[in-house]
Structure 1
Amino acid sequence: MTYDLVIKGGNVVLRDSVVTADIGIKDEKIACIAEQITDDAKEVINANGQFVMPGMIDTHVHISEPGRTEWEGFETGSKSLAAGGTTSYVEMPLNALPATTNKAALDLKLEAAIDQNYVDYSFYGGLVPDNLDKLQELSDAGVQAFKCFLSDITSDIPDDFVNVDDYTLYKGMQKLAELGHILCIHAENPSVTSKLSEEMMREGRTTAMDYVDSRPIFTEVEAVQRALLFAKETGCKLHLVHISTSEAIQAITQARREGVDVTVETCTHYLALTAEDVAEIGPRAKCQPPLRKAKDQAKLWDELMAGNIDWLTSDHSPCTEDLKEGNLFEAWGGISGAQNNVDIMFDLAVKQRGLSINKFVDLIATNPSKRFNLPNKGEISVAKDADIILVDPNSSYTLKREDLYYKNKHSAYEGREIDCRVTKTILRGNVVYDLEQGIVGNPKGKLMSANDNK
């Protein structure tokens, strides 16, 4: 056989082991994993000294095209993902305009995404108070999952995204349980957080720590518990997004023991940055839920190391730089993070805290591929898509603005020294990012429709 590509001599991360091996790729699939491949190959990559692992599957990405394309577009967003070692992503139903709450809006995104993506992609549908009758058509159109907000997300812009009330949450969960879909939830109690924010603004309390205190831990926990109760009542499959606290993780873990079909993610920024860092970084580090205090972050790390968190995401939520001006209450809330998940978390979790490399791969690839029914992704195994990244554990660098591929080149991680590096990203056997060359070739990303695997 003549392979399209052979990756030679890397430390290949398999399901339960790490082996020094060659990988042969043919027709975009992994065709062979062997101690040594001697057959001909059109291209050979030397991976000596590097880890060879599946590309990250980022299930929490905001691309703002169409409607707010000046914030982020499919081209720049997917380049950032590729440069960071992500080979597939699922795009949230906001912040584009119109929000993806009906098939017509989904069709606009599908059209905008054609021939722009450097990695594979799929879409969420949204659950909002006025679209209960649109969930079926979004499901039929192949969305991977649905998303709603329990936190305050109001807008006076037509067709923008808004949060659900409890009735919509209940009826939406009933319908999604019938359809067999996962509902992903942003869980914060909006009544408390909005009033605390108003109170602090009136009193002129606008420091970084004031912002954190306006969204206390119990507001996340209460909303999580409410979502879990509704899921138990309706039988809806649930996924809690960007959870920031151990207390919420404990509630989710207990519900899982009681039979609730629930998974949970956290984000790189909750493990890499603390509330104490926000005073120095400023609004670039503003997000919801907020970054937590160091003592609370330490407990979140305990949950990750104990295996109580299912996977990691970026919650890449970009905007133009002018929207990051002002105090922490006024600035746009969202961290641009798509490009620095694999490297930062490999550094923090594997190198600094001793997490096994196999558990790390579960967190970035294998677990989300299973939950989101992406059977060709998430693992280095024969017949799977050849979505592969190379990570050099002995290469350190300091992240600079000019390294970023975002449309708006700002990040809460600017100036951070990272003690490993993604050197290659391979999408279905095609090199799409190389450390020396940057982004390689034209966009090769394909749509992943949920209908493909029904």
Structure 2
Amino acid sequence: MKSADLVIRGAKVVSADQIIDAAVAIAGERIVAVGHDDLMPPAAQEMRADGLYLLPGAIDSHVHFRDPGYPHKETWKTGSAAAACGGVTTVFEMPNTNPATGTIEALRIKQKAAESSYVDFGIHGLLGDDTIERLEELLEGGVTSFKAFVGNTFGNLPAPTDGALLEGFEKLAPLGIRTVVHAENSSILLRRQQRMQAAGRTDALAHLAARPAVAEIEAIGRVLTLAEWTGARVHIAHHSAADSLFLLRDAKRRGVDVTAETCPQYLLLNTDHMLKLGGVMRLNPPIREARHNQPLWDALMDGTLDMIATDHAPHTPEEKTRANIWECDCGFPGVETQMPLMLTEVNRDRASLMDYVRWSAVNPARAWGLYGTKGVIAPGAHADIAIVDMARAGVLSQNRLQSISKISPWNGRKVQGYPLHTLVRGRFVMRDGALVADAAGWGRSVKSVQRMPAPRARNTEHYIGAVLETPAGVPRSATPTSEVAE
């Protein structure tokens, strides 16, 4: 029997289906054995984890590390350090940096910045009117997926026109690539905000009034229509409203390949908190009324919502605490606090630990083509593991965050359940609750291990590329729907 580098003994190993008493052996970057103590290979190092739980490292499909362009808010090093200390072993980073990740040149700048990452990562490229012709080039250059900002947010990137969104989906559907969508109707948002500002509304709730749930409903419906027509894979980011859940349920019943995330802030916070904290809680989509909280939990439980993400969106305290809500930057840090927040809810019997693993690791791994290599504790998988103490209690403190952004609505919140150690591909990046400083730069792109399922493009005869190439006078096929599966 070949020897291992590390054997972890005494813990309970958690999957989406079961919790078992098992030891885990790691050799190099991968898990080589999971099972009874007596079946483990000899190891250079052993670790006792009695009373602890081994979870697949969380995969956060929605972070903003602000690098390049805004290093005073966050860098790849500080953002990934926050991930490591939050039990998150893989992140997917958003393209609204400066420059935006819509060209090869911009991608190379971001990839250089990511060389300091503690954790593994994917990079979402930008899908917009002026990037449509570069999507394949960006994929070849290393992006794993795309993001379309249908609703405006930090960076003020123009929303893609519906024509560009359709054409982008036509390009990506035959490739099987998933596109994240910030789904709010930008026209509604712009007009509502202008009306609010003209009326002199500068209070915290004016931000919510300018972004009503109907803006999310309309945008999700439009995106799903285009995705269903083309066969493109889509992912709805930061789903915030109870009112739009029916669209996801109906689309999934029809076989649309749509995944969706929500965030701890939409599950646990509402306008009551907004009234107390003001601009600290300004984000897009907005924090909504309390009636939205439980339906989002229910949607996670029944599979309408697939996963937990954080929309980690750091800003400086000064940028979050201005008197005028319109002058407060949108977003706050979240990648480090997500796991203790959610484990606390598990301890409150709101969900099981298996449910949490499904939302935080298994379903994200499946959505982004990583499952088997990531998202599971099993032989052959990357040794991405969060070692968790479900009994440990504490109080979240914004001053102790690894993020540059030392301001959080979770400051002072009591939690029970913490990641104590985090391993990324077999290496400790957090140990005994402390960052392992020399692990900076250990993180790698997941592009080389990404394996998206076979695509299922539809209505390809109506794609712009097909109709442009049809000679004049030649009748098109009368077949209403075609599918391409590779």
Displacement after TM superposition at 1:39 (Å): 4.5
| Matched residue, 1:273 | 269
Q: What residue number does 1:233 align with?
A: 229
Under a length normalisation based on structure 2, what TM-score does the superposition of the two structures give? 0.88
2:374 counterpart residue number: 377
Give the letter aligned to residue 187 of structure 2: S
Aligned to 2:21: 20
Equivalent residues in 2 for 1:196-211, closer than 5 Å: 196-211=192-207
Q: 1:436, CA displacement in angstroms?
A: 4.5
Unaligned runs of 5+ in 1: none
Give distance in 2, aligned partners of 1:120 and 1:447: 6
Aligned to 1:322: 318
Distance across 1 between alignment mates of 2:15 and 2:298? 25
State the match for 1:56 in structure 2: 58
Letter in 2 for 1:151: G
- Cα distance in 2 for partners of 1:113, 1:154 equals 21
Output the CA distance in 2 between the equivalents of 1:154 and 1:314: 16
Bigger shift: residues 310-319 or 193-202:
193-202
- Aligned pair partner of 2:170 in 171, 174, 195: 174
1:322-381 Cα offsets, whole Å, 9 max, x none, are: 221323222111121110111101212x22244222221010001111111114100011
Do residues 146 (structure 1) and 146 (structure 2) align?
A: yes
Local SS of the residue matching 1:419? strand
Answer yes or no: is 1:7 the counterpart of 2:8: yes
Task: Compare 429-438 and 390-399 and name the one that shifted more.
Answer: 429-438
Match of 2:409 among 409, 412, 419: 412
8 Å Cα contact 2:56/2:375 also seen in 1:
yes
Distance 1:35 1:271 in 2: 38
**Contact between 1:390 and 1:424, CA under 8 Å: does it hold in 2?**
yes
Deviation at 1:12, TM superposition (A): 0.8
Paired residue type of 1:81 = A
Q: Which amino acid aligns with 1:257?
A: R
Q: Which piece of structure 1 moves more, 177-186 or 47-56?
A: 177-186
**Alpha-carbon distance in 2 for matches of 1:316, 1:447:** 19
Aligned residues: 447
Q: Secondary structure at the match of 1:256?
A: helix
Q: Secondary structure at the match of 2:312?
A: coil
Normalised by the length of structure 1, the TM-score is: 0.94
Counterparts of 1:338-377 in structure 2, within 5 Å, are 338-348=335-345, 350-375=346-371, 376-377=373-374
Task: Please name the residue that 1:254 is paired with.
Answer: 250
Please tell me whether the aligned partners of residues 142 and 451 of structure 1 are also in contact (alpha carbons under 8 angstroms).
no
1:446 maps to 444
2:4 and 2:26 in contact (8 A); partners too: yes
In the other structure, the counterpart of 2:77 is 75
Q: Does 1:435 align with 2:461?
A: no
The counterpart of 1:162, out of the listed 134, 140, 158, is 158
Alpha-carbon distance, 1:154 to partner: 8.6
Match of 2:106 in 1: 105
Q: Distance in 2 between matches of 1:308 and 1:452?
A: 24
CA contact (8 A) 2:370 2:449 kept: no
SS of match in other structure, 2:22: strand
Q: Percent identity?
A: 33
CA RMSD of superposed structures (Å):
1.8
Which moved further from structure 2: 386-395 or 431-440?
A: 431-440
Distance 1:153 1:399, change over 3 A: closer
How far does residue 439 in structure 1 lie from its aligned partner after superposition? 3.1
SS in 2 for 1:176: helix
3-state DSSP class of the match of 2:190?
helix
The answer for the alignment partner of 1:313 in structure 2 is 309
Residue type of the alignment partner of 1:26: A
CA contact 1:55–1:425 (8 Å) conserved in 2: yes
Q: Separation in 2 of the partners of 1:302 and 1:256?
A: 16
Larger Rg: 2
SS at match of 1:395: strand
Letter in 2 for 1:130: D
- 1:185/1:452 CA distance change after superposition, 3 Å: closer
2:43 corresponds in structure 1 to 41
